[in-house]
Amino acid sequence: MSKQQVIHDEDDLRFYIALGEEEAELTYSLTDNEELDLDYTYVPEDHRGQGLADELVKTALEYVKGNQLKFIASCPVVEAYVKRHPEYKELMVDI
């Protein structure tokens, strides 16, 4: 399976993958402390089971890490990813 390109749309506060007519996306909001609140992941039904959600989450967490930021895992998909990849746990804000 080829790795899809994840695009970070900072104006729209989301990471997304273009899938022809559809998009997979991970949306976030910024807190007052400049933390990314990763709040919603969506992958169109036809494209599920291909690791796209993991790709989105990984890209978002690498962005957080690369910019010395912190994140909040409001989305269960993000929370599950961090459980499988504990190296990102130190970047997570406990709420």
Q: How do residues 38-87 score in pLDDT, each as one tens digit?
A: 999 999 999 999 999 999 999 999 999 999 999 999 999 999 999 999 99
Amino acid at 45: E
Look-up: residue for tokens 């990984």? 58
Which of the four pLDDT bands, split at 50, 70 and 90, describes residue 4?
Answer: confident
* CA torsion through residues 62, 47, 13, 39, sign: negative
H-run or E-run covering 53: helix 52-66
Mean pLDDT of 15-27: 97
Exposed (0-12), middle (13-18) or buried (19+): which is 68, by Cβ within 10 Å?
exposed
Q: Which domains does the chain possess? A: 7-91 (3.40.630.30)
H-run or E-run covering 10: none
Tell me the whole-structure pTM to 2 decimals: 0.94
